[in-house]
Amino acid sequence: MSTIDQRVARGVELLDERFTGWRERVDADLLDVRSLHRCPLAQADGRSFAWAWDAIERPGWGNGTKHGFNWHPGLSPWSAQIYAWRLNRRWRRALRGSRSTREG
């Protein structure tokens, strides 16, 4: 499992724990980890990333990167774009996979 897969898995686990019904609120087509309003956490909470993260943050959790909610801030601009694209793709795959499992 890649680092991105692990981060998204942590994020899914956290959302499952904290935001009942979050999968129905997150629009995979609008999802963008670079956006404070369209990242998975912001969509699950219905507010911005900052509001949602402040409400759930625990010591040692960092800035949301470990949970796949945020792009990796230490990367060059080009690498950050590629990383965000991959992270968005993994989130969409996780969302669509969970929906088809529940519907099927």
Which of 75, 74, 66, 14 has the alpha carbon at shortest distance from 45? 14
pLDDT at 1: 62
- Whether 63 has a pLDDT exceeding 90, the answer reads no
Instruction: Give 19's pLDDT tier (boundaries 50, 70, 90).
Output: very high
What is the mean pLDDT of the segment spanning 47-51?
Answer: 89
Mean local confidence (pLDDT), 19-36: 94
67-103 CB burial, b ≥16 within 10 A, e <16: bbbbbbeeeeeeeeeebbebbbebbbebbeeeeeeee
**pLDDT at residue 42, rounded to an integer:** 94
Domain carrying residue 87: 3-103
Q: What is the pTM of this model?
A: 0.84
**CA torsion angle 100 84 29 3 (round to 10):** 10
Give the chain's domain count: 1
Compute CA 50 distance to the chain's CA centroid, rounded to the nearest angstrom: 13
